[in-house]
Structure 1
Amino acid sequence: MKVLVSGGAGYIGSHTVVQLAEAGHEPVIVDNFSNSKPTVIDRVEQIIGHHVTWYRADLTDRAVTERIFLRERPDAVIHFAGFKAVGESVAEPLKYYENNLNTTFSLIHGMQASGCRLFAFSSSATVYGMAPLPFTEEETDLSALSPYGYTKLAGERILTDIAAATDIRVALLRYFNPVGAHPSGLIGENPLGIPNNLMPAIANVATGRQDMLHVFGNDYPTPDGTCVRDYLHVVDLADAHIAAVEWLSEHDVATRIWNLGTGRGTSVLELVHAFERACGHKLPVEFAPRRPGDRDAYWASAERARDELGWVAKRSVDDMCADTWHCQQGNPDGFPNGEPASQPSQA
């Protein structure tokens, strides 16, 4: 299949493009590089060994989006493009609602204009709110704790309604905590500015870019007092998207939800210790007060993805840390700025 990947130069998007190509599909990247670097395109092409079609475009622009669809005629869409910093969403909610919802609207219009029928949506475990553990796809009491979370919840509802009224088939993929990097070390998590997530913050401490890792809360009702999360390797996550799109192509189902996680919880300190094994030295940790809105623990029920998609997360927490450290060693200053060697297609 030809698969349009929105936000395809970003962290999860770039790994999914690689896995799509290696699975025999034809990825098409659309990205405005607001939260990624264009030189990632070069690295993706280096890994897969050939050129990948890409567009520099803002997917909130419906006219441009429709032109890309009419030119490329993709069979499927995997939608990653969106702002994702929880704290920023609280400070700038309008920015998040406009961007994250309008990109979805533009993509649907493009699909309808070109006859594309398969849509995989990047959702989040944040939609489970304070639901009981483990989170299962049957949970109906959904909520969110931030504007970012509500954009995912709203996106799910919008796409469910559209799928019910049209011939578009939708996969709602609820991520847990993606970490890690491609084993080549050429692509990985490369946040612009101060990291919002735990793993890049740990990596910054390991490389000396940051003096101390601040851990928010050590008095939670967990085995070591720190928050527990379900971390999964980004390559495993990328493979799940391919499995979901292929499943949609074979099943006449309007909407299907899958949790994408390992089904196991790992505490903050357990992740720190795994990274210490990867980098070979101790990491300085300082405990800070709890952050508002942080839940003590959550993890996925991942049985549905296993049973229906034949997908399970294969890589361990040690693999996640080792691949992150390998990527950090090869890119001590992050990914380079500049333009890709290949030229973008024109919408």
Structure 2
Amino acid sequence: MKKILVTGGLGYIGSHTVVALQEAGYEVFIIDNLSNTSIDVLQGITEITNTPPKFERLDLRIKNDVVAFFQKHTNMDGIIHFAASKAVGESVENPLLYYENNINSLVYLLQECKAHNISNFIFSSSCTVYGEPDTLPIDEGAPIKQATSPYGNTKQISEEILKDVCHVSNLNAIALRYFNPIGAHASALIGELPVGVPQNLVPFITQTAAGVRKELSVFGDDYDTPDGSCIRDYIHVVDLARAHVKAVERLIKAENSAKFRVFNIGTGKGNSVLEVIAAFEEVTGEKLNYKIVDRRPGDVVAVFADTKKANEELGWKAAHDLKEGLASSWKWEKKVRGI
């Protein structure tokens, strides 16, 4: 049984990927500092898979702790690196936190890959590397624009670090550039549960519908889009998790056509914020209290993926649509709130 280390494995995307890996027959070891999640997620994963993953609480910013971990656990077949701060708005307000957390943790992991001859690495990247795109949909050959936020910049820098390390070592890496993950596992045993005020649209929608938040703010209705609100590509987290399993298989079978590869992971379809609100109201029957407010610093107008490369080379394609993602998010929120 191949052993995969998943950093940030109790987070939103990480936990769903752990489930997908275990269901595909991998042994999973999770490290997480629990800064944006709860230890209860471990129980949810175990209930879904009937297999408790190994877990250690660890802050990847503390180099000595990272070194000590790999001295104890030397036989990893691959690493999927999720652990990072991820909110665009927060990164604008607190850039040093993002550079410390997102860059240092990657460097320390890669140093241990070199020390312990771990050659398979999957990086949690983002469509933010494209900045404000020239054309839509965006394919992997689109230029990497100057980042519009420190968060986006950390993803660009991280990809450059990986490319440089792959060039001079035995490391083989895949960067999956996510678009906007939504949804929850069908069991409603795991889902998106941010600590504090949500930074992403869908959990803010569900918390507003549940009465946790008074109202939802729509950041701008004067963008150059059909209804004036920003457009994003909303990918179901279960589909996103499956993409990581495909990437792991590709690396372990030594099928990477180059030492460093990037793939867009999205649906190929864009939806505006106002369309998402309308779709949520339709599938749930809940009326949302929302208001239009000023634009938010760091936001781009419209982003959605060209997924041809992932479809053809990874053998992966999104199977769930926007409404399915929103329905599962609401099911999860209701379970969390006891509604």
TM class, shorter-length: over 0.9
* Corresponding residue number in structure 2 for 1:292: 297
1:293-341, Cα deviation, whole Å (9 max, x unpaired)? 322211011100000011011101111011001101110179xxxxxxx
Task: Give the deviation of 1:290 after TM superposition.
Answer: 2.1
In structure 1, the residue matched to 2:59 is 58
1:19-52 Cα deviation digits (max 9, x unpaired): 1000111111001111111111111111110221
Secondary structure class of the residue paired with 2:55: strand
Cα distance in 1, alignment partners of residues 177 and 65 from structure 2:
28
Please say if 1:165 is aligned against 2:168.
yes
Equivalences for residues 327-346 of structure 1 within 5 A: 327-332=332-337
Partner of 2:112: 110
**One-letter amino acid of the counterpart of residue 311, structure 2:** R
Q: What is the match of residue 339 of structure 1?
A: none
Q: CA deviation at 1:90?
A: 1.8
Question: What one-letter code is carried by the residue in structure 2 that aligns with 1:189?
Answer: E
- Name the counterpart of 1:340: none
Match of 1:270 in 2: 275
Equivalent AA in structure 2 for residue 136 of structure 1: D
* Matched-pair contact (CA < 8 Å) for 1:62–1:109: no
Range moving further from structure 2, 262-271 or 249-258: 249-258
Name the residue aligned to 1:178: 181
The 3-state SS of whatever aligns with 1:256 is strand
1:139 aligns with 2:131: no
3-state SS, counterpart of residue 4 of structure 1: strand
Contact in 1 for aligned 2:131/2:148 (Cα 8 Å) = yes
Amino acid at match of 2:114: Q
Say whether residues 1:202 and 2:192 are aligned partners. Answer: no
Q: Please state whether the residue corresponding to 1:110 is helix, strand or coil.
A: helix
- Say yes or no: does 1:244 pair with 2:237: no
CA distance in 1, matches of 2:220, 2:62: 42
- Mean Cα deviation higher: 13-22 or 105-114: 105-114
TM norm structure 2: 0.95
Query: How many residue pairs are counted as aligned between the two chains?
Result: 334
Deviations 1:265-292 (A, max 9, x none): 0111111122112322221221112223
Instruction: Give the counterpart of 2:319 among 300, 314, 321.
Output: 314
- Structure 1: which 4+ aligned runs deviate by more than 4 Å? none
SS in 2 for 1:331: helix
Q: Is the 8 A contact 2:207 2:213 kept in 1?
A: yes
2: CA distance between counterparts of 1:162 and 1:26? 26
Give the CA deviation at 1:141: 3.7
Give the letter for the 1:54 counterpart.
Answer: F
Provide the residue aligned with 1:87 in structure 2.
89
After the TM superposition, which of the residue ranges 130-139 and 75-84 deviates more from structure 2?
130-139
What is the aligned partner in structure 1 of residue 127 from structure 2?
Answer: 125
Counting only pairs closer than 5 Å after superposition, residues 7-46 of structure 1 correspond to structure 2 as 7-46=8-47
Cα distance in 1 between the residues matched to 2:265 and 2:70: 28
Q: Distance in 2 between matches of 1:284 and 1:64?
A: 45
TM-score between both structures, scaled by the size of structure 1: 0.93
Unaligned runs of 5+ in 2: none
| Residue 308 of structure 2 corresponds to residue 303 of structure 1 | yes
Kindly report the root-mean-square deviation, in angstroms, between the aligned alpha carbons of the 2 structures.
1.5
Which region of structure 1 is more displaced relative to structure 2, 114-123 or 155-164? 114-123
Instruction: Provide the C-alpha distance between the structure 1 equivalents of 2:238 and 2:261, rounded to a whole number of angstroms.
Output: 22
Could you say what secondary structure the match of 1:306 adopts?
Answer: helix
CA contact (8 A) 1:176 1:300 kept: yes
**2:225 is equivalent to residue 214 of structure 1:** no
- What secondary structure sits across from 2:337 in the alignment? coil
Per-residue deviation, 1:60: 1.9
Q: Secondary structure at the match of 1:319?
A: helix
Instruction: Judge which range, 20-29 or 205-214, deviates more.
Output: 205-214
Provide structure 1 residue ranges, at least 5 long, that are not aligned to the other structure: 335-347
Q: Secondary structure at the match of 2:190?
A: coil
> Take 1:93 and 1:102, find their aligned partners in 2: how far apart are those partners?
13
1:100 to 102, 105, 119: 102
